[in-house]
């Protein structure tokens, strides 16, 4: 396991109330599992996903990433960038089993574990007394993951979720980055705005038009200015730019919905063609549901006609959706309530909701601040 590095940023004069938050992110998880289980794939560019037609890369090994191959990239594009790319089919049952091994390790240190997907999670170790510092806890967790699974993980250690997640990506693969409360504001100040959660290409372009390129530029803006240009996101941007994020680590974080939709260049008129497209969408939604282990009770179909009229139809079950086929069948039943229609269909979407997980209360910031924190 390679030497870890810690963040080296100047101290800031003010420190926000501190917790000890670790973000663990497995390195190229799906692809690394495949390379672990098949020695012939080690050291080679590997992509997990479909290799033909409209296949999409679900994960790419670091060897493949050197060629610009990324997750969510169309497989044909990935193959063009890396002609030697080896495609393997996803084995979600194996990934789930490995994920369960990893989560069992997490719970040896804290009950406050918030999984984001099979391969990453937040841990609040503020009250953990197994080791003296959060850094030592993160190092031990990474070592135990490697020993138990043969895989590597990267970690970000900080006083809030926003910075911990960004830090976990700083020294990948197989690295660790520590950002203390005194370092937080300076660490965020030099980040490009695209690293902020919620800043996609459109928001980044808008910020750049406003002269906002970095965290420091964002911190220079008033809350009123941000509200005028970014609406409800203003408060989040205002706090994050100053290294502030008071969100709790929620062991049973409630997911509101999970879905996918597609817009078509040519309007669809034939029912069979619509069902074929709905099958592709159901595949995507179910893959995301399996990855996050989130299965809702309510299925919603979204449809947009050629004149941009956009009705939705929903159906709720008395239990979570059991399979991809049940998701698709429910979607087709809802589709049949909206077609045939002479206008033609330009967009289809499927969403699952009604996950029904209770939220768990956690310790307050004031309580955490009194515990004598060391990073």
Contact call for residues 63 and 31 (beta carbons, < 8 A): no
Q: Which two tokens stand for residue 68?
A: 């610009």
d(CA 262, CA 280): 9
Q: Which two tokens stand for residue 367?
A: 């309580």
Contact call for residues 268 and 345 (beta carbons, < 8 A): yes
Q: Which two tokens stand for residue 23?
A: 């973000």
Q: Which two tokens stand for residue 21?
A: 């938050």
Range 109-128 burial, b when 16+ CB lie within 10 A, else e: bbebbbbbbbbbbbbbbbeb
d(CA 261, CA 288): 13
Contact call for residues 57 and 68 (beta carbons, < 8 A): no
Q: DSSP state, 56?
A: B
Q: Where is 63: in which H helix or E strand?
A: helix 62-65
Pairing of strands 176-178, 153-158: parallel
Burial class of residue 309 in the structure, from the number of CB atoms within 10 Å of its CB (0-12 exposed, 13-18 middle, 19+ buried) = exposed
Catalytic residues: 120
Q: Which two tokens stand for residue 8?
A: 């080296």
d(CA 309, CA 145): 51
Contact call for residues 288 and 258 (beta carbons, < 8 A): yes
Burial class of residue 188 in the structure, from the number of CB atoms within 10 Å of its CB (0-12 exposed, 13-18 middle, 19+ buried) = buried
d(CA 241, CA 235): 10
d(CA 209, CA 80): 33
d(CA 213, CA 313): 41
Query: What phi and psi values does residue 37 have, to the nearest 5 degrees?
Result: -85, -15
């Amino acid at each position: 396991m390679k030497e870890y590095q810690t963040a080296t940023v100047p101290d800031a004069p003010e420190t926000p109330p501190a917790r000890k938050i670790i973000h663990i992110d497995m390195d190229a998880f799906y692809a690394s599992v495949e390379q672990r289980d098949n020695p012939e794939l080690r050291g080679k560019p590997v992509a997990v996903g479909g290799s033909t037609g409209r296949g999409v890369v679900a994960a790419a090994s670091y060897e493949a990433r050197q060629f610009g191959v990324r997750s969510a990239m169309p497989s044909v594009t990935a193959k063009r960038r890396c002609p030697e790319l080896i495609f393997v089919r996803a084995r979600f049952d194996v990934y789930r089993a490995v994920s369960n091994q990893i989560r069992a390790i997490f719970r040896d240190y804290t009950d406050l574990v918030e999984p984001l997907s099979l391969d990453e999670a937040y841990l609040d170790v503020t009250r953990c007394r197994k080791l003296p510092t959060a850094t030592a806890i993160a190092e031990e967790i990474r070592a135990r993951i490697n020993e138990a699974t043969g895989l590597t993980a990267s970690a970000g250690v900080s006083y809030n979720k926003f910075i911990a997640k960004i830090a976990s990506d700083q020294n990948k693969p197989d690295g660790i980055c520590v950002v203390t409360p005194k370092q937080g504001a300076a660490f965020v100040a030099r980040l490009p705005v695209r690293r902020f959660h919620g800043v996609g290409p459109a928001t980044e372009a808008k910020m750049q038009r406003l002269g906002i390129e970095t965290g420091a530029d964002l911190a220079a803006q008033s809350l009123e200015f941000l509200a005028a240009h970014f609406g409800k996101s203003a408060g989040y941007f205002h706090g994050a730019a100053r290294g502030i994020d008071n969100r709790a680590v929620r062991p049973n974080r409630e997911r509101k919905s999970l879905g996918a939709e597609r817009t078509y260049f040519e309007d669809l008129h034939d029912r069979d063609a619509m069902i074929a497209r709905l099958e592709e969408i159901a595949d995507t939604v179910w893959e995301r549901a399996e990855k996050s282990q989130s299965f809702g009770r309510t299925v919603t179909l979204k449809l947009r006609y050629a004149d941009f009229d956009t009705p939705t139809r929903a159906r709720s079950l008395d239990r979570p959706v059991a399979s991809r086929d049940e998701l698709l069948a429910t979607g087709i039943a809802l589709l049949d309530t909206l077609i045939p229609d002479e206008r033609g269909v330009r967009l289809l979407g499927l969403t699952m909701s009604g996950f029904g997980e209770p939220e768990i209360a956690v310790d307050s910031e004031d309580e955490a601040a009194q515990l004598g924190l060391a990073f």
